[in-house]
């Protein structure tokens, strides 16, 4: 199955990690590639996934506004090469592509020069049929929504950020 968690609300990555934990409970082999999150940023879920020996790749370069467009492009290209390799190697039962959907709607870069949703779909069509793939990110296109098997949209209704409360360790990261 190909599952998609999208929308403006919080919880897309958290939902994907929940599926990861469920798969681990059934002794399935899981890999997670985080397209935009940097290994420099520590979070509770990543600390736990490392303890669980999940194959995890954080390919982001941190705060994008501090990097040049060329640095960002090179980073995403490297992540996409890794992504194709992981998806096509056939050794995983589940692969999570965290924030890949965000890559397609970046306004500061012309990502479509080297990576399109059609490229992703073409690779997904060539993965082993027993592999579950989880995509996360805001603003999923109609094309992606039509292709996948399950779509959950996270809707922002209320958040303590609106009261000026900053990210809380253990809840946000």
What pLDDT, on the 0 to 100 scale, is given for residue 107? 81
What pLDDT, on the 0 to 100 scale, is given for residue 67? 82
What pLDDT, on the 0 to 100 scale, is given for residue 23? 97
What's the chain look like in SS3? CEEEEECCCCCHHHHHHHHHHHHHHCCCCEEEEECCCCCCCCCHHHHHHHHCCCEEEECCCCCHHHCCHHHHHHHHHHHHHHHHHHHHHCCCCEEEEECHHHHHCCCCCCHHHCCCHHHHHHHHHCCCCCCEEEEECCCCCHHHHHHCCEEEECCCCCCHHHHCCCCCCCCCC
List domains and CATH numbers for the chain: 2-163 (3.40.50.300)
Q: What is the pLDDT of residues 79-97, one digit of tens each?
A: 999 999 999 999 999 999 9
What pLDDT, on the 0 to 100 scale, is given for residue 53? 84
pLDDT over 80 (residue 62): no
What pLDDT, on the 0 to 100 scale, is given for residue 57? 96
Q: What is the pLDDT of residues 9-34, one digit of tens each?
A: 999 999 999 999 999 999 999 999 99
């Amino acid at each position: 199955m190909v599952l998609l968690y999208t929308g403006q609300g919080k919880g897309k990555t958290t939902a994907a990690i929940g599926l990861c934990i469920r798969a681990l409970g059934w002794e399935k082999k899981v890999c997670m590639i985080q397209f935009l999150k940097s290994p420099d940023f520590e979070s509770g879920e990543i600390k736990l996934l490392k303890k669980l020996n999940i194959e995890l790749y954080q390919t982001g370069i941190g705060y994008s506004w501090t990097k040049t467009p060329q640095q960002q492009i090179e980073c995403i290209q490297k992540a996409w090469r890794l992504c194709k390799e992981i998806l096509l190697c056939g050794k995983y039962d589940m692969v999570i592509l965290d924030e890949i959907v965000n890559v397609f709607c970046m306004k500061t870069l012309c990502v479509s020069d080297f990576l399109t949703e059609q490229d992703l779909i073409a690779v997904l069509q060539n993965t082993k049929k027993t592999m579950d793939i989880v995509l996360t990110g805001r603003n999923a296109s109609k094309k992606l929504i039509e292709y996948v098997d399950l779509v959950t949209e996270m809707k922002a209704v209320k958040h303590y950020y609106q009261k000026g409360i900053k990210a809380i360790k253990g809840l946000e990261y």
